[in-house]
Chains A and B, each alone.
Chain A
């Protein structure tokens, strides 16, 4: 998978809660990635088997609305995206320090 800024942002957002379920739109807000970029990326992550998907259990919904589609990290996804998120955090720290030194 090609490493892009938005992929890094999504990886960071997903790794905030590695075992939780994630929803498309709230993930796009959390990662600050537009839906038009996020949804195709989710499809690629599903194809790479870094994510699995499923549909909400209709019996647990209290409001009147259809079940949503959720995404979960697989073990492989936790390794790959976790590594990506960690390296991004490290880079941010080093560039941050440089920026401060130059400033």
Chain B
């Protein structure tokens, strides 16, 4: 630890830092303006100002901008990161709290059908999750094996979601009835 500190504080390191700072002010400034948020115009502005100066003035300019970046860039960066985190969190919350959250049975189906008609994939998943066991049991009651019953279930869902985008919105009872009738029809055809 002491050795490491010694190496950091040694005069060679100091010289190296001074050399980089003095000979490559563009590089130094380019690295420190990255503290600004990505779309901040100050990033390009400061670099452009640097190249409009005489070579001898450049290291001084960079030294001065260190303060600018610390007092303007850092708060901006912290603010933009915080906003991004907030946004992500809010999105997560709305995902966790779907409009059918807490509902069951017919009420939940009614909400999900409405959402699924407007293309909400999660609502479709919720419907499938809730009603697939019904479809499956109806299919199996026609003496279909597992594979056949699975195929029937998939076809039924495809057909019913296709019909869902039709002109009128079915009630939850109607939708369940579609599912059962369609399953019966397909299962019967399989049996023959």
Contacts and interface: CB of A to CB of B under 8 A. Distances in A.
Interface string A35-58: 110011001000000000100100
A43 to B, nearest CB: 8
Interface string B22-61: 0000000000000000000110110111011100000001
Interface residues of B, number: 18
Interface in A20-75: 23-25, 34-36, 39-40, 43, 53, 56, 63-69
Contact of B44 (A40, A63, A66): A66
B14 interface: no
Contact of A65 (B42, B48, B65): B48
A56 B48 CA distance: 10
Contacts of A67: 48
Contacts of A69: 41, 44-45, 48
Contact of A34 (B45, B48, B67): B67
Contact of B64 (A34, A43, A63, A68): A34
A25 B49 contact: yes
B70 interface: yes
21 contacts: A24-B45, A24-B49, A25-B49, A35-B64, A35-B65, A35-B67, A36-B64, A39-B42, A39-B72, A40-B71, A53-B41, A63-B52, A64-B51, A65-B51, A66-B44, A66-B47, A66-B51, A68-B48, A68-B52, A69-B44, A69-B48
A24 B68 CA distance: 12
Contacts of B52: 23, 25, 63, 65, 68
A71 B159 CA distance: 62
B100 to A, nearest CB: 43
Contacts of A24: 45, 49
Interface in B79-106: none
A36 B52 CA distance: 19
A65 B61 CA distance: 16
Contacts of A34: 64, 67
Given A25-B61, A34-B64, A39-B42, A68 B72 contact: no
A68 to B, nearest CB: 4
A24 B47 CA distance: 12
Given A23-B49, A69-B48, 7 more contacts: A24-B49, A34-B67, A35-B68, A36-B64, A40-B68, A56-B48, A66-B51
